[in-house]
Structure 1
């Protein structure tokens, strides 16, 4: 495309009569004029690119009120995990559920050995838990932030040939270093959670606070 534009300019100069005398001086003058036009075009393209960038920043600031623009557009802290139970787990009250089969662990903040997620930043987080009971049995679990319950789920099925699932989703603010995990509900006896990769624990950072 650039070659075509330059040839078009060259042809236009021919039409203006610059090539009536085909001496070397005329050719040098034409090439000098062509170089000036190319430099001018590059300068204009640079100005357009700068204006487009400035316009995008202004539109981003309007959408997110300035402060949120930096959070969403510049601060891309990757913190997210999903883990599952690969086998049935028998647990009791206050026992932490270790979801050991890790699918995603961006930021490496979830520990599959302990079943606990540790917040690397102060921010707004989302957590979701789905737990399945064995046929004819019940399961009671709590979603905990440090030692405070932030979610509760129950599942049970009276029919001996059917499973039952329960789930909970919570949005919460965590300070750096706070821990979130799933454990057996206080006061229950021994229960068994169905594994088979159906029981899952997910969490992610929604917004990092300064």
Structure 2
């Protein structure tokens, strides 16, 4: 509602009614003011409309964020653990080999030292002792390839914390050349558990990196 108060000065000249110049100027200013007010009201209505649309969009995004948060909470922990375990700087894995040509005069329960490191991403394998130490509790995969000297056999054990898990054989008996065998194990380890390969009985093995030991973390466990 617009309310204008003004003083009207009217002149009579030769029978013609005439307003003062001041009144004409006032009317012109009032017209400009009214036009500006109308434009401001339209701008305010436009801003209100945009604000309402923005509030609706924010509410929609909040609902989507809440649904995503619930989905992440229900995501299987073992999958997220496995994903975390393969990130750079956290992945656990190694491969090492026996670099010397032959390891002879091995005694019973002699630890095989795989001295040449090919991969050792977290430093969990120790090439001075031949022992892998688990940095996390989890499910690990280990494999070993052993090559026997021609005409000889060699029984080997994979050992977990001092106890034999499995025995395998590199059998070159009766052969004129070298004989290799490969084996793989999936083992659940506690943090700090130790794994290594040792002889089951006295003998010798061929090196030159044909005898290898590998392992990696498959997934962390609680």
- Give me the TM-score of the superposition, normalised by structure 2: 0.65
Task: Give yes or no for the alignment of 1:165 onto 2:172.
Answer: no
Answer with 1 or 2: which has the greater Rg: 2
Taking the aligned partners of 1:43 and 1:89, their CA distance within structure 2 comes to 72
Q: Give the corresponding residue for 1:26.
A: 42
Q: Give the corresponding residue for 2:214.
A: 202
Runs of 5+ unmatched residues, structure 1: 1-20, 61-68
Q: Give the corresponding residue for 1:8.
A: none
Contact between 2:96 and 2:114, CA under 8 Å: does it hold in 1? yes
Contact between 1:128 and 1:170, CA under 8 Å: does it hold in 2? yes
**What are the superposed Cα offsets for residues 49-101 of structure 1, whole Å, 9 maximum, x if unpaired?**
3213313543x3xxxxxxxx334425745433222233424140232212123
Taking the aligned partners of 1:87 and 1:118, their CA distance within structure 2 comes to 24
Contact between 1:151 and 1:168, CA under 8 Å: does it hold in 2? no
User: 1:48-197 maps to which residues of 2 (within 5 A)?
Assistant: 48-58=64-74, 60=75, 69-74=76-81, 76-77=84-85, 78-91=91-104, 92-93=106-107, 94-157=109-172, 158-160=174-176, 162-186=177-201, 188-189=202-203, 191-196=204-209
Q: 1:55 to 1:119 in 2, by over 3 A?
A: closer
Taking the aligned partners of 1:74 and 1:44, their CA distance within structure 2 comes to 31
Contact between 2:81 and 2:219, CA under 8 Å: does it hold in 1? no
Deviation at 1:163, TM superposition (A): 3.2
**What are the superposed Cα offsets for residues 172-195 of structure 1, whole Å, 9 maximum, x if unpaired?**
333433321112222x23x13232
The count of residues paired between Structure 1 and Structure 2 equals 177
Contact between 1:87 and 1:195, CA under 8 Å: does it hold in 2? yes
- Give me the TM-score of the superposition, normalised by structure 1: 0.68
Runs of 5+ unmatched residues, structure 2: 1-36, 86-90
Taking the aligned partners of 1:145 and 1:164, their CA distance within structure 2 comes to 26
Q: 1:47 to 1:177 in 2, by over 3 A?
A: same
Taking the aligned partners of 2:162 and 2:50, their CA distance within structure 1 comes to 75
Contact between 2:146 and 2:205, CA under 8 Å: does it hold in 1? no
Taking the aligned partners of 1:193 and 1:116, their CA distance within structure 2 comes to 19
